[in-house]
DNA sequence: TGACATAGTAAACGTTCGTACACTATAATA
DNA sequence: TATTATAGTGTACGAACGTTTACTATGTCA
């Protein structure tokens, strides 16, 4: 029986990953054979069958290859204070896609750039991007996009005894009790800050 | 001459988008024809040629369709304090992918879950996910993942007169002057917080 | 040693692919 | 009204597709 070296699969997966990132589609079997350095596309066919069993790849009803966990661009390490594993060691790590992780409802979610410091105590800074889902019904404690005095702002949503209040996360600003009807643009489901 | 209704393209694009999200690949021309309700795939062929000109789709050297701006899952609205356009109006908005926006170097970037409150004044809370690029060389003011007393922590990086310091973003904790060699696990390039 | 599982080669199949060409129907324009 | 550009139908063709089968070579294990 022939046993393959330890990183046999990893190199192959990396090749496909590169192809996928470069071409934005999965290779055909003959293209995969070329990637792997095989002369026969059946060799690729058999190899990929194993990658499928490992979950890196799958295929649709027509046999075309689709990205499995390949798709996920960022590697997952442990948590920071727990003495997480050294970033140096390159294993077959778990990966994830930020898009898929953060966005539940692609059609009802949009992105908003934050200006002003009214939510700074909630860790939402000017310049941050805020993901807003307008299909979510706000509950007390949620951060919402609301229209106050014909201006859109970011506030904590509070419902007490039938009345609705908007609370800024900054002691400098007062609690807001909306005069008339309150227009909600959606609930903040995530906050993203880019440094570089 | 036949002029198409205003949202002619938008509906078609939405159909392809749905297909792409569902199948994780672009449709063939015959599949696209079926999506559009055409009997002839040549009709899809001509229509998609126009979508290509608009940048929503393109194709590789073998003619296979590839996602253009389709790919991007989240719609971009204006900024929040500027009285941004109502989220209700559904135009052909700009879209973006968070993965592509945040990650410059997929191979050297990883994700870390934050525990502890040492960076809370920088708006990085316990439970946040931090994107770390280990190929970036830290500069003063950057937030880095560093090993202090054989523990991995998140600190501001400061270089003054040849000496390197690590500063927590929380007044409760003291400035750290590393005794021996300083091990840096990478530079924080983004912070992500998920609420829902 | 002999039996066996595996990695890879090679060729063949029916199907689907992208693309091209000829054609019809419709609506706008001059 | 005649002209013209466009939306869509239908057919055809060579190339590439996924999949199957047969075969070789090689290393493992009893």
Q: What are the tens digits of pLDDT across the range B102-117?
A: 988 887 888 888 888 8
For position A115, what pLDDT does the model report? Answer: 85
Strand spans (E) along chain A:
57-59, 65-67, 74-79, 95-96, 109-113, 129-133, 143-148, 151-160, 163-167, 183-194
Which CATH number characterizes residue A148's domain? 2.10.109.10
- Residue A166 CA to D19 C1' — how many Å? 62
B90 occurs within a structural domain: no
A94 occurs within a structural domain: no
For position A28, what pLDDT does the model report? Answer: 96
Same domain, B62 and B112: no
For position B26, what pLDDT does the model report? Answer: 95
Percent of chain B exceeding pLDDT 70 equals 83
Same domain, B125 and B184: yes
Same domain, A116 and A161: yes
The predicted-structure confidence for B56-109, as pLDDT tens digits, reads as follows: 899 998 999 999 876 666 665 555 554 444 444 444 456 788 888 898 888 788
Q: Which residue of B has its CA nearest to A185?
A: B87
Q: Collect all residues of chain A within an 8 Å Cβ-Cβ radius of residue B76.
A: 110-111
Most confident of the following: A131-145, B9-23, B165-179: A131-145
- Domain boundaries, position B25: 8-71
The predicted-structure confidence for A169-180, as pLDDT tens digits, reads as follows: 888 888 888 776
B94 occurs within a structural domain: no
B98 occurs within a structural domain: no
For B53, the token pair is 């000109």
Mean pLDDT for B8-16 is 81
B172 occurs within a structural domain: yes
Which CATH number characterizes residue A21's domain? 1.10.10.10
Domain boundary among B55, B71, B87: B71
Q: Which residue of A has its CA nearest to B124?
A: A123
For position A163, what pLDDT does the model report? Answer: 85
Same domain, A111 and A170: yes
Ramachandran angles phi, psi of A120, nearest 5°: -70, -30
For A119, the token pair is 């939510």
Same domain, A67 and A145: no
Identify from B62, B108, B193 which residue to disrupt to test chain A contact, counting A C-beta atoms within 10 A and taking the largest count: B193
For position B190, what pLDDT does the model report? Answer: 95
Same domain, B122 and B166: yes
Mean residue pLDDT of chain A comes to 82
Interface touch B187/A193, C-beta < 8 Å? no
Closest CA to A83 of B161, B81, B185: B185
Between CA B119 and CA B84 the distance in angstroms is: 31
Give the count of domains, chain B: 2
Q: What is the band of A79 on the pLDDT scale with cuts at 50, 70, 90?
A: low
For position A78, what pLDDT does the model report? Answer: 56
Domain boundary among B28, B53, B71: B71
Q: How many helices (H) and strands (E) does chain B have?
A: 4, 10
A178 occurs within a structural domain: yes
The residue lying closest to nucleotide C11, measuring its CA against C1', is A40
B38 occurs within a structural domain: yes
Same domain, A61 and A117: no
A155 occurs within a structural domain: yes
Domain boundary among A24, A56, A71: A71
Catalytic residue positions of A? Answer: 118, 155
Same domain, A109 and A60: no
């Amino acid at each position: 029986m022939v046993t393959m070296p330890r990183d046999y699969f990893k190199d192959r997966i990396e090749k496909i990953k590169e192809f996928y990132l470069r071409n934005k589609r999965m290779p055909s079997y003959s293209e995969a054979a070329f990637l792997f350095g095989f002369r026969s596309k059946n060799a690729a066919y058999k190899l990929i069958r194993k990658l499928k069993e490992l979950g890196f790849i799958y295929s649709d009803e027509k046999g075309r290859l689709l990205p499995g966990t390949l798709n996920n661009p960022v590697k997952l390490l442990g948590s920071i204070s727990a003495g997480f594993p050294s970033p140096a060691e390159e294993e077959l790590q778990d990966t994830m896609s930020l898009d898929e992780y953060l966005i539940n409802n692609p059609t009802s979610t949009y992105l908003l750039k934050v200006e002003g410091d009214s939510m700074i105590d909630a860790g939402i800074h000017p310049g941050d991007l805020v993901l807003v889902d307008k299909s979510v019904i706000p509950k007390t404690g949620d951060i919402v996009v609301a229209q106050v005095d014909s201006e859109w702002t970011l506030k904590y949503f509070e419902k007490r005894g039938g009345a609705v209040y908007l609370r800024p996360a900054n002691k400098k600003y007062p609690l807001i009790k909306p005069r008339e009807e309150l227009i909600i643009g959606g609930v903040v489901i995530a906050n993203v800050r880019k440094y570089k």
